[in-house]
């Protein structure tokens, strides 16, 4: 899965792409098939520096999008700050890949937007570690555990702040 990021024109994308491996035949050649997924509902704005994780709960699967930066809103842009980036609001977006439905969720534990953090998913949980907050120019040693229960009807999200964080940015797991 690929969501957002910078385009060659230095714009930000809000597109979601699904990559599949197509290895038909007996040769060792592997082909990647890329398909854009249309999304509906509460769509995340174009951004970079965010994470997209996959969770599994009660036999269902969803994607969790969190964090990132976007350009300032057009109403706040001037010639001096035209390319300035700001943290996206601290919302969790759930994406149902089967139907392309998105929903935005605000949790009281997530008070600041953050970017360039690390996200690790395991079953129905995503752990968010580190990151950078543009508004305060800091890298707090934070660790959050987001639990996603994919119930019939509405999902149930809960977030817990854990005390054993690291001050990191741009890590690869």
Residue 168 has a pLDDT of: 66
57 domain residue, yes or no? yes
95 domain residue, yes or no? yes
3-class DSSP state of 85 = strand
pLDDT tens by residue, the chain, 173 residues: 889 888 888 889 899 999 888 777 666 777 888 899 999 999 999 999 999 999 999 999 999 999 999 988 878 888 888 788 899 999 999 999 889 999 999 999 999 889 999 999 999 999 999 889 988 888 888 889 999 999 888 999 999 998 766 666 666 65
81 domain residue, yes or no? yes
Residue 36 has a pLDDT of: 92
Residue 149 has a pLDDT of: 96
3-class DSSP state of 21 = strand
Q: What angle do CA 147, 15, 56 make, to 5 degrees?
A: 25
Burial 29-62 (b: 16+ CB within 10 A, else e): eeeeeeeeeebeeeebebbbbbbbbebebeebeb
Closest Cα partner for 99 from 63, 52, 151? Answer: 63
Domain that holds residue 73: 39-162
Which residues on neighbouring strands pair with residue 146, listed in sequence order? 126, 159
What is the 3 state secondary structure string of 36-91?
A: EECCEECCCCCCEEEEEEEEEECCEEEEEEEEEEEECCHHHCCCCCCCCEEECCCE
Number of domains present in the structure of the chain: 1
Residue 60 has a pLDDT of: 93
Contact between 131 and 116 under an 8 Å Cβ cutoff? The reply is: yes
Query: What's the rounded Cα separation, in Å, for the pair 16 and 37?
Result: 6
Residue 79 has a pLDDT of: 82
Residues in the chain: 173
99 domain residue, yes or no? yes
149 domain residue, yes or no? yes
169 domain residue, yes or no? no
Contact between 71 and 36 under an 8 Å Cβ cutoff? The reply is: no
Instruction: Tell me the pTM.
Output: 0.86
Radius of gyration of the chain (CA): 17
20 domain residue, yes or no? no
171 domain residue, yes or no? no
């Amino acid at each position: 899965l690929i969501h957002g990021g910078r385009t060659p024109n230095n714009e930000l994308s809000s597109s979601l792409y699904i990559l599949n491996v197509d290895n038909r035949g007996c040769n060792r050649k592997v082909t990647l098939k890329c398909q854009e997924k249309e999304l509906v509902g509460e769509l995340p704005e174009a951004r970079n520096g965010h994470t997209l994780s996959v969770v599994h709960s009660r036999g269902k699967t969803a994607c969790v999008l969190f964090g990132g930066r976007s350009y300032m809103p057009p109403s706040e842009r001037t010639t001096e700050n035209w390319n300035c980036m700001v943290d996206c609001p601290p919302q969790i977006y759930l994406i149902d890949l089967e139907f392309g439905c998105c929903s935005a969720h605000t949790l009281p534990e997530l008070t600041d937007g953050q970017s360039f953090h690390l996200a690790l998913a395991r079953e129905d949980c995503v752990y968010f570690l580190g990151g950078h907050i543009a508004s305060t120019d800091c890298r707090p040693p934070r660790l959050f555990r987001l639990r996603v229960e994919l119930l019939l009807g509405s999902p149930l999200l809960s977030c817990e702040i854990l005390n054993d964080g690291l001050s990191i940015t741009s890590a690869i797991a």
